[in-house]
Amino acid sequence: MRKRSSRHRSHSLAGLRLAIDCMPPATRAAMLEGVRENERIIAGAYVDRHGGVCPMLAAHRRGGRTDFLSFARSWDRFTRAAGTAKVATRREIAILVSQLEDSLEQAHGKAGGMELDRRAALLREPLLSRHAAWLLVTLAYLYVFPYFERINNPNENVRIWAARAIVEHHVLNIDQESREWGYVNDKATTGKHLYSSKAPGKRASGASR
Q: Inform me whether the pLDDT recorded for 32 exceeds 80.
A: yes
Q: Inform me whether the pLDDT recorded for 1 exceeds 50.
A: no
pLDDT tens digit sequence for 142-182 = 776 665 555 566 667 778 878 888 888 888 887 888 888 77
* Same domain assignment for residues 15 and 102: yes
Quote the pLDDT of residue 53. 93
* Same domain assignment for residues 183 and 113: no
* Same domain assignment for residues 95 and 14: yes
* Same domain assignment for residues 109 and 192: no
Parent domain of 190: 154-208
Query: How many structural domains are present in the chain?
Result: 2
Rg, the chain, Cα only: 42
Quote the pLDDT of residue 160. 80
35 vs 147, more confident: 35
| Residue 184 belongs to a domain | yes
Distances (CA, A) of 157 to 1, 146, 170, 171, 183: 105, 20, 18, 17, 10
Assign 189 to helix, strand or coil: strand
The Cα–Cα gap between 130 and 121 comes to 11
* Same domain assignment for residues 19 and 100: yes
Quote the pLDDT of residue 58. 92
Quote the pLDDT of residue 92. 94
| Residue 134 belongs to a domain | no
| Residue 18 belongs to a domain | yes
